[in-house]
Amino acid sequence: MFLTNSEEKALAGEKGESLEIAYRVLIAIGKISNAKRLIPIKWAHVSGVSYLTIGDYGMDFLKKISSGKGTKFKVFTTVNPCGMDIENWDSLNVPVDYAEKQLKIISCYEKLGIANSFTCVPFQSFKVPRKGTSVAWAESSAAIYANSILGLKTNRESAVSALASALTGKTVYSDLHIPENRKPMKNIRIDMEGKRLFRKSGLSGSVDFGILGYFAGKHISGVIGFQRINQELEIAEAKALCAAIVTTGSSGMFVLNSKERIETIDFTEKEYEDTFSDLSQSGEGEAIVFGCPQMTIEELYELSRSLNGKHLRKRCFVFCSSKIYEIARSRGYSAVIEAAGGTFVRDACADFTPLISTLNVDSVETDSCKGAHYMRKVHGVKIALKDTTRIIEENSK
Ligand code: F3S
């Protein structure tokens, strides 16, 4: 792998231990992926923020990286949601020792120079670079969104590789950074005739597109081609499709309206129903969770419209970033949602947080297929998977 003089020096430890570790990580990945060189990036998005996912080992590693004298991120860097609401963790029953460790992790990232983010939908809060720009995003649901919807180029980075990219401002020139690798390997042909026909695909809403993504991710590991879906996706649908694909597989990109003549897998009503049954084990849940991935301002607007003048009969948690919450507050959406009984959980991940476990519930209602998968796995709860509108209709007066 070709390295510049400056990269060689950093690798040799001449620019401090943190950079040496970062270059070692990138070069190890470069070797595995047969990359010839590193390339500059404009934006790193780092995961590995929740204490529930990285634990003491991850926390100690971050302490070490951030303790290097003058060690700072080289490029604009955002971070994933953490494992609790940073402002209101005590009122949401987060144990003190957990909160202390979570705050320590956050302080390491702050020391390194993150943008105020704590979001898995970073494209909502910050200006997106022009199409074709290389970035290094670790949150898999955001990475696939970047490649497929925003036209950026990123591999599905791990927490460690994205951290290395943030420190060096570089990534490995491999896989989805290379134009020839961005073509579909297999197509999914959607054939939902007779079910819902108001769109060509027959699909509508986050649950439908989440189910499609959950199926597609399981069956195709490379770039996915979707037939019969044009650029008609709402932001919530695209977000649900992306999040579900990466839940079940390793794909990092899809192409809409694929015209490639390649192997094609059918997605019919049978595959839809089988996938739905896999994800939804209960008719109803004892609590409601919205926001995996975290809610966008458009979704909060829709939620506030649906809840206007109503009152929820169950505890309902709404996950979004502080930045989006502030916009929702200034526009009056959050006041409507809170008046209806909704509780905002800011800057946190909906699944990797102790919140669900401390609720002592056996079942949860959600509109998210990724959330359904992980809440069941991590917290052992049954899931009732339903559209937002239906959840509100059935649970409010
Ligand atoms: Fe975001 Fe956590 Fe879901 S990072 S995509 S809310 S699992």
Question: Is the pLDDT at 218 greater than 70, yes or no?
Answer: yes
What's the whole-model pTM score?
0.96
pLDDT tens-place string over residues 96-113: 999 999 999 999 999 999
Please list every protein residue whose CB sits less than 6 Å from any atom of ligand 1.
Answer: 80-81, 120, 139, 141, 243, 292-294, 319, 349-352, 370, 374
User: Mind giving me the DSSP string for 226-289?
Assistant: EES--TT--HHHHHHHHHHHHHH-----EEET----S-EEEEEHHHHHHHHHHH---S--SEEE
pLDDT tens-place string over residues 107-136: 999 999 999 899 999 999 999 999 999 999
Q: Whose CA is nearest to atom 3 of ligand 1?
A: 292
CA of 119 to the centre of ligand 1 (A): 8
Q: What is the pLDDT, as a whole number, of residue 200?
A: 56
Q: Cβ contacts of residue 97 below 8 Å, gap of 6+?
A: none
Residue 384: its H or E element: strand 382-385
For ligand 1, pick from 82, 120, 367 the residue to mutate: most ligand atoms within 8 Å of CB: 120
Q: Whose CA is nearest to atom 5 of ligand 1?
A: 293
Average pLDDT over residues 1-20: 96
Question: Is the pLDDT at 359 greater than 80, yes or no?
Answer: yes
- CA–CA dist 117, 80 (Å, integer): 7
DSSP helix/strand/coil, 346: strand
Annotate 235-252 with b (16+ C-beta within 10 A) or e (fewer): bbbbbbbbbbbbbbbebb
CA of 127 to the centre of ligand 1 (A): 21
Ligand 1 atom with minimal separation from the 81 CA: 4
Q: Whose CA is nearest to atom 7 of ligand 1?
A: 351
pLDDT tens-place string over residues 267-278: 999 999 999 999
Is 287 within 8 Å of 368 (Cβ atoms)?
A: no
pLDDT tens-place string over residues 226-261: 998 876 789 999 999 999 999 999 999 999 999 999
Ligand 1 atom with minimal separation from the 141 CA: 5
CA of 366 to the centre of ligand 1 (A): 13
